[in-house]
């Protein structure tokens, strides 16, 4: 056999050996799936490397996923960023707009959906109870106390000022009245009634004094003078202040007993019910009741809700991942996969690389065969 034939033969043999051994080595990563026995003696290299180390592989894969892939920082970067924050906020606004603010359902419809009926009557009853509660609270507070004890100090000073101003106003209005023709006529009528009420004595006085006009002319200035006198203001003011002092010493609960308090309370309840208009409000939609509700909510509520959700999500993330026990979950999933599926996954990812390893083995084997052929030829 010539040199070229020898080298070609050795190259082919070396390539076959290198390619087959590399291909066999790759296959032995997975094959066989189970240990093979001859009697009680287990054949070496069975099962394959990956089936034999499957538990270690799944454990390491789970640890790698938790420590390097699906870490809390990964979730934070992916889900708790500004872009996701804006998306969630817009989604909430869309849902509120679609299902709440643009809904044709009235409040009563929403309440009926929740199985609630007669809400208007219950609300009105609560309003009445609230009025009664405030009344009872007020009565308990004022019981046994006088006006002086309950009235604030600044009210007392202001009331006294208004009291004397009222006295002066009354005297001024009295002066204006008696200085007018109508006041003059009133004086004349009073004189005539006075004479009439005295019978014969009155008629005698009337005959002696003559017509009432001169008397009116004399009495009218005296009345005006009396009303304008500082002594009159002092007298009336003193009387008014004395009465005011007496009023302050009266107990408020006794004073209120003089009023028809129950009728006033019923009127207050009726007024509140009319102003509340619970029935008509419950029969309207949210958009009718609150036209700017969506805009206000999107500015004041939605951002707060989104911020709260993100803050709580970040705080609870590590705790949640720890409770999920993702490492164990990944391990169990890998353990549950058939070995054929694992082989298919790995070959699907690295099939080209495995082929290149086989080709590289054949190439190296061929080169080694040529070198061996040269060495044999030289030695011969």
pLDDT in tens, the chain (380 residues): 566 777 777 778 777 777 777 766 666 666 665 666 676 776 665 655 566 666 776 677 777 776 666 677 777 777 777 888 888 888 988 888 888 888 888 888 888 888 888 888 888 889 889 988 988 888 888 888 888 888 888 888 888 889 889 989 998 998 888 888 888 888 777 776 665 665 555 455 555 444 556 667 777 888 888 888 889 889 988 999 898 888 888 888 777 777 777 788 888 888 888 888 888 888 888 888 888 888 888 888 888 888 888 888 877 777 777 777 676 776 776 666 666 666 666 666 556 666 777 777 777 777 877 787 777 777 76
Helix (H, G, I), strand (E, B) or coil at 108: helix
Instruction: Give the pLDDT confidence score for residue 68 in this predicted structure.
Output: 67
For 242-297, write each residue's pLDDT tens digit: 988 888 888 887 777 777 777 888 888 888 888 888 888 888 888 888 888 888 88
Q: Cβ distance 365 to 9 under 8 Å?
A: no
Q: What confidence score (pLDDT) does residue 49 get? A: 58
Contacts of 75 (CB under 8 A, 6+ apart): 317, 321
Q: Where are the chain's structural domains? A: 3-79+312-379, 147-250
pLDDT at site 349: 56
For residue 135, which of 267, 286, 43, 273 has the smallest C-alpha distance?
A: 267
CA distances from 352 to 15, 27, 227, 261 (A): 19, 14, 123, 97
pTM value surpassing 0.75: no
Cross-strand pairs, 285: 106
pLDDT of res. 334: 65
Q: Contact, 22 vs 357, CB < 8 A?
A: yes
Nearest of 191, 184, 193 to residue 210 by alpha carbon? 191
pLDDT of residue 204: 53
**What single-letter DSSP state applies at residue 43?**
P
The 10s digit of each residue's pLDDT in 297-338 is 888 888 888 888 888 887 777 777 777 767 677 677 666 666
Q: Crossing angle, helix 199-209 and helix 181-197, to 10 degrees? A: 130
Rounded to whole angstroms, how far apart are CA atoms 175 and 169? Answer: 10
Q: What is the DSSP string of 247-287?
A: HHTSBHHHHHTTS-HHHHHHHHHHHHHHHH-HHHHHTSBHH
Q: Distance of alpha carbon 177 from its chain centroid, rounded? A: 65
DSSP state of 42: E
Compute the Cα dihedral for 190, 196, 202, 205 and give only its sign.
Answer: positive
């Amino acid at each position: 056999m010539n040199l070229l034939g020898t080298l070609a033969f050795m190259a082919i043999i070396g390539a076959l050996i290198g390619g087959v051994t590399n291909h066999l080595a790759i296959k032995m990563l997975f094959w066989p799936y189970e240990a093979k026995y001859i009697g009680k003696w287990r054949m070496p290299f069975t099962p394959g490397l990956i089936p034999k180390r499957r538990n270690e592989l799944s454990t390491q894969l789970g640890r790698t996923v938790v420590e390097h892939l699906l870490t809390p920082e990964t979730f934070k970067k992916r889900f708790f960023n500004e872009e996701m924050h804006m998306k969630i906020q817009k989604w909430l606004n869309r849902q509120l707009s679609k299902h709440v603010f643009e809904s044709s359902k009235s409040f009563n419809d929403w309440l009926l959906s929740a199985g609630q009926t007669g809400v208007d009557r219950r609300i009105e009853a609560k309003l009445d109870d609230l009025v009664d509660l405030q009344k009872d609270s007020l009565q308990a507070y004022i019981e046994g106390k006088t006006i002086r004890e309950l009235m604030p100090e600044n009210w007392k000073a202001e009331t006294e000022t208004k009291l004397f101003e009222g006295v002066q106003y009354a005297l001024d209005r009295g002066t204006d009245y008696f200085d007018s023709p109508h006041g003059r006529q009133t004086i004349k009528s009073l004189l005539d009634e006075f004479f009439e009420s005295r019978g014969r004595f009155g008629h005698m006085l009337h005959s002696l004094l003559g017509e009432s006009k001169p008397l009116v002319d004399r009495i009218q200035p005296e009345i005006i003078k009396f009303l304008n006198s500082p002594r009159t203001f002092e007298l009336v003011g003193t009387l008014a202040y004395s009465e005011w002092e007496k009023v302050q010493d009266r107990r408020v609960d006794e004073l209120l007993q003089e009023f028809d308090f129950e009728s006033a309370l019923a009127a207050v309840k009726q007024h509140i019910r009319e102003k509340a208009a619970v029935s008509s409000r419950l029969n309207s939609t949210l958009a009718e009741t609150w036209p700017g509700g969506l805009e206000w909510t999107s500015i004041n509520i939605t951002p707060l809700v989104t911020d709260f959700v993100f803050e709580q999500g970040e705080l609870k993330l590590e705790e949640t991942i720890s409770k999920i026990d993702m490492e164990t979950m990944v391990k169990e999933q890998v353990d549950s996969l058939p070995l054929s599926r694992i082989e298919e996954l790995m070959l699907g990812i690295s099939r080209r690389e495995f082929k290149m390893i086989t080709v590289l083995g054949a190439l190296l084997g061929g080169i080694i065969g040529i070198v061996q052929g040269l060495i044999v030829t030289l030695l011969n």
